[in-house]
Chains A and B, each alone.
Chain A
C-alpha cells in the first residue's frame, strides 16, 4: 500500500509539475519581438513632361508675344518677338486740326501748316467745323458770302452766306459750319479765303480793321480730321523703334553650351504709307552673358539700311498694305557664329526715313488708317545640340503625411527614380532641399548631380526613334530623410545634353515627352 501511495504521488507530481512548467506565463509575458526589419514599397509620384510644355514655360517667362510654333512635322520653332513698333498716319494728320486764321482783307491767303518736308496738294476732310468771326464796326447791317477757293464739295466751291449787324462793342460769330465731305485742293500749299460783303446800299465793302490794325474777320478751324492726304513728301527721318528681345533659352547663370542649328532674326514690316520709306538700322546687336556686344551683320542691308515696300500712288495702290520680310540667317549673316556664344538678348533700333533718295517727283499719300508696323523676332528651330546646358527650377514641396511619420521605427529609405525618356536629351539632375529661410539643408544626390535620364536614340534626321528607360536607386539614411521631409522648397537643377554627348544636332518635337516616376522603399523595425 505504501509503495502504491508513493507511486501515485510521484506520478501526480510529475504530471502537474510537467504541465505547469510547460505552461508558465513567463513564456508569454517575458518575450520580446526579435529585431526584425520589414520593408514596404509603394509609389510616390509620376509625371509626364511634354517638350511642348517645357518650351512654353520658357516662353512664359518672357514677353507675351513670344510663341512656340509647332510645325507640321511636329518640330517646334521658338519665336521671341519684341514690341511691335507702329507709326500711325494720325501722327501726321494733326495739322490744321485747330487754328485761327486772320483775314485782313476781302481776299487773303494762308499757308497750309503741313509737316516738315511735306507739301499737301489734296486733303479730304473727314470731319470738323469752321466758324466765321466778324467785327462789324460800320453802322450798317452787312450781308455777303464767305468762300474758301481751294475747298469744294461735289464740285461746288465752299461758300457761306452771312448777314452781320453793326457790332461796335462785340463780334458776330457764325454757328459752326460742318466741313465734312469737302476736299482741299492746292497746288501751292496755300489756302485762299474770300468774302463778298455788301452794305444796305448794295455796295461791296471790306470790313474796316480794328483799332490797332487787327483783322476784322477770322476763320476758326475746330477738330478738323482728314481721310486722305496727298502731296509731296520730302526727306524726313523719324524714330521707329528701339527695343530689346530677351532670349531666355540662354539666360542662366549656370554653365552650359547650347548650339542652335540655323537661328534666324526676322524683321517684318507692314506699310500702308503711300510714299517711299527706308529703314535705317541704327543698332542691331546681340548681347552676351557677360555684356559683350555681338553686332549682327547681314548682306541684306546696304549701308545699314533697307527700303520698305510701300503702296505706290502711281500704281493706284491707295489703301493697300505692303509687307517687307527680312530674314537674317546663317546664309546672309553672322548669326550662327553669334549664337555659339549663347547671347541672352537682342537689342535693336530702327529709324524711318521718307524719300531717302530726295526724289522731287515723288507723289505720296496717306489715309487716316495708314500706318507702318515693324516687328523683330528671333526664331529658333528647336534643332540643335546641347552639352551640359543647365537650368533650374524652384518647386514648393509639401510632404504632408510623410512629414508626420514616426521615424523611430524606420531604419532607412530608398527612392527609386525612373525615367522613360522619349526625347533626344539626357539629363543630370540635382535637387537641393531648402528650409523656410531658403537655406540648403540637403540634396537628393550625395556628391553632385547624377545622370537620371539617358537620351533616346535618334535617327539620321535627328528625330527620336525610341524610348530610353533608366532606373536610379537613391538610398537615404533616416537622418537625411528627417531633414528632407521637413523642407518646403526644392531647387531642381538640371543639366541637359543632347544625344551623343551633345555632338549631334537633334530635332525636338512637340510630341517628345519624358515620364518621371518615383517609388519609395521603407525599412521599418517591427
Chain B
C-alpha cells in the first residue's frame, strides 16, 4: 500500500460515524426504519420486501473538510494533504459507520404477529491519530529532524455481516419487536489500549533514527504483513473483499416497542445490538512492537577504511531498517463488542398533512455518542412526504436535517440526512450523514 493511499484512507474516513439516523427513526412508515426499531412495520401492509439501502454517518474532529485535501488546478483535481495536515489538531479522531442493507423481508401473519428477516453489511470504526503521523507519512522525516514525533494511532475498525430474524407482536396499540442477529465478522483491526505508543526521533547529527515503541494491535484479515525495507513504511493489507460467512461469529439482539398512545400521539423506543459481540478467529493475529530501536547506519571499522582491503558494503546495513518497525506477529484470537445503541421517539400528528416529533439517540461503549432532534413532517400528497429536523449532537448544535419520501404504488423511495448541508457539499464539511433506499410494500 502506497503512503498516499494510506493517507487518503486516513482522511477519507470523513466519508464514512456512529449512525444516529434520527430522521429514519422519525419515519416509522418506512420499512427500512425497522433497522432502528424492530417493532416498526408499515401500517396495514402484509408483505414488505426491502430493496438495497445505503446509510452513512461519518465525521472528523475539528474543521477538516475534503476541500482541504482536494485542490483544482487547470481543471484537474489534485489530492494535496499538505493543507489538510496544517489544519489538524495535535490529536484527531475520525469515526464512521456505514450500513448497507442488501435485502430484507417482512410478513404480517395476522393483526398480532409479524415476522422479518434480512441481511446487512456494516463497517464501523474510529481512528484517533496524532497530527505527527500524517505529517511524517506525507512530508517524510527530514522536516522534523531533532523532533520527537508521536505516530501511534488508536484504531478500532470492524466490518461484519448481520443475518437477522425477528418477530413482532401487537397488543392493541402497543407493538413489541425483537430481532436476533447472527454476526459474521469480515475484518477487524483494533489497537491495544494499553500499548499505543510509537515515537520516532531523527537525530540532527547524521539523521540516526530512534524509534521508541510500545504499540500493539489485534487484526483479523486486514493487516497481513509489514514491510519497512527501503525508504518507506509499507503495510501489506489483506483482502478487504467481504465474505458473507466466516469463522468470525457472534450474536446480537435488537428490542423495541412502538406505542400508539392516541390517534395523534405515538412513542417508541429501541435497544439495538444488545450483547453484540464477535469472536475473531479467522486470520486473527496480535502484532506487537516493543522496545527502543536505534538505527545508526552501517558501522565500518576504521581499519577497513584505512586498509582499503574490505568492501564497504551498504547492502546488509539498510535492511536493518526492517528491524526498526519489526512487529512480532502472534496468532491470537480476540473478541470485540458492538456498541449498544438506544433510540427513542415521540410524534404528534397535528392533522393529515402535518406531524411533529422528537427523536433521541444514544450510543454506549468505547465511543459514546448522543443526539436529539425535533422534526416537522409535511405530506402534501398521499404518496409524498417532506420532513425537516433540527438536531443537536456531540459535534454540532446546528444540524438541519431533511427527508424526502415517495410512495408511488407499492414503492417506497426515500432520501434523508440528519445534516442536509453536508449532503450537498460534503467537501465543505467535516461530517456527513445520509441514507437512501427503496422497498416494496404490499
A interface residue numbers (CB < 8 A to B)? 4-5, 7-8, 11-12, 15-16, 18-19, 22-23, 27, 30-34, 36, 38-50, 53-54, 57, 60, 393-402, 405, 416, 418, 492, 513, 516-522, 524, 526
Contacts and interface: CB of A to CB of B under 8 A. Distances in A.
Interface stretch (B31-39, B249-257, B273-281, B295-303): B295-303
Nearest to A420: B205
B79 A39 contact: no
Q: Of residues B73, B303, B381, B423, which shows the largest number of chain A Cβ atoms within 10 Å of its Cβ?
A: B303
Contacts of A418: 205-206
Given A34-B73, A38-B142, 19 more contacts: A11-B386, A12-B384, A12-B404, A12-B406, A22-B424, A23-B426, A27-B70, A33-B78, A41-B142, A42-B295, A43-B203, A46-B299, A47-B300, A57-B303, A395-B311, A396-B308, A396-B311, A401-B314, A518-B297
A13 to B, nearest CB: 10
Contacts of A524: 140, 231
A468 B410 CA distance: 87
B79 A8 contact: no
B172 to A, nearest CB: 35
Contacts of A33: 4, 78-79
Contacts of A27: 70, 77, 427
B230 interface: yes
Contacts of B302: 47-50, 53, 513
A394 B311 CA distance: 10
Contacts of A11: 386, 404
Interface stretch (B106-114, B160-168, B316-324, B391-399): B316-324
B380 interface: yes
Shortest Cβ-Cβ A-B pairs, 4 listed: A400-B315, A43-B297, A519-B206, A39-B142
A40 B229 CA distance: 13
Contacts of A43: 203, 206-209, 295-297
A41 B141 contact: yes
A8 B380 contact: yes
B434 interface: yes
B425 interface: yes
A38 B85 CA distance: 14
B82 A19 contact: no
B65 to A, nearest CB: 13
Nearest to A58: B306
B419 interface: no
B284 interface: no
Interface string B430-442: 0000101000000
B315 A398 contact: yes
Nearest to B385: A8
A401 B70 contact: no
B426 A394 contact: no
A8 B382 CA distance: 11
Contacts of A49: 302, 305-306
A42 B138 contact: no
- At the interface, is chain A mostly helix, strand, loop or mixed? strand
Nearest to A12: B404
B71 interface: yes
A41 B308 CA distance: 27
B202 interface: yes
B312 interface: yes
| Best-surrounded residue of A46, A394, A521 (most CB of chain B within 10 A) | A46
A41 B146 CA distance: 11
A519 B312 contact: no
B402 A15 contact: yes
B304 interface: yes
Nearest to B305: A47
A60 B436 CA distance: 84
B301 A400 contact: no
Contact of A53 (B306, B309, B315): B306
B115 interface: no
A39 B139 CA distance: 6
A40 B80 CA distance: 18
Contacts of B304: 47
B143 interface: yes
Contacts of B138: 36, 38, 526
Interface residues of B, number: 71
A401 B209 CA distance: 18
B303 A44 contact: no
Nearest to B416: A15
5 contacts: A40-B141, A42-B295, A44-B314, A517-B206, A526-B138
Nearest to B300: A47
A61 to B, nearest CB: 10
A7 B78 CA distance: 38
Contacts of A40: 140-142, 231
A395 to B, nearest CB: 5
B227 to A, nearest CB: 13
B231 A45 contact: no
B422 to A, nearest CB: 9
B395 to A, nearest CB: 20
B145 interface: yes
A41 to B, nearest CB: 4
Contacts of B81: 36
Contacts of B231: 40, 42, 405, 522, 524
Interface string B77-111: 11111100000000000000000000000000000
Given A43-B209, A519-B207, A38 B305 contact: no
A115 to B, nearest CB: 49
B31 to A, nearest CB: 20
Nearest to B426: A22
B312 A395 contact: yes
A402 B318 contact: yes
A57 B230 contact: no
B386 A8 contact: yes
Contacts of B406: 12
A22 B423 contact: yes
A11 B381 CA distance: 13
A60 B208 contact: no
A173 B237 CA distance: 104
A46 B297 contact: yes
Contacts of B402: 15
Contact of B381 (A5, A16, A45): A5
A400 B79 contact: no
A427 to B, nearest CB: 13
Contacts of B44: none
Nearest to B2: A526
Given A39-B139, A44-B298, A526-B4, A401 B415 contact: no
Contact of B315 (A41, A401, A513): A401
Contacts of B415: 15-16, 19
B351 interface: no
B261 interface: no
Given A22-B424, A22-B426, A15 B205 contact: no
Nearest to A43: B297
B228 to A, nearest CB: 12
A524 to B, nearest CB: 7
Given A4-B380, A400-B313, A519 B306 contact: no
A396 B310 contact: yes
B3 interface: yes
A12 B405 CA distance: 9
B207 A521 contact: yes
Most chain B C-beta atoms within 10 Å of own C-beta, residue among A18, A33, A43, A44:
A43
A398 B308 contact: no
B78 A41 contact: no
Nearest to B321: A42
Contacts of A4: 380-381
A400 B206 contact: no
A393 B70 CA distance: 54
A119 B80 CA distance: 106
Contact of B434 (A19, A53, A395): A19
A32 B78 contact: yes
A521 B413 CA distance: 58
Contacts of B206: 43-44, 46, 416, 418, 517-519
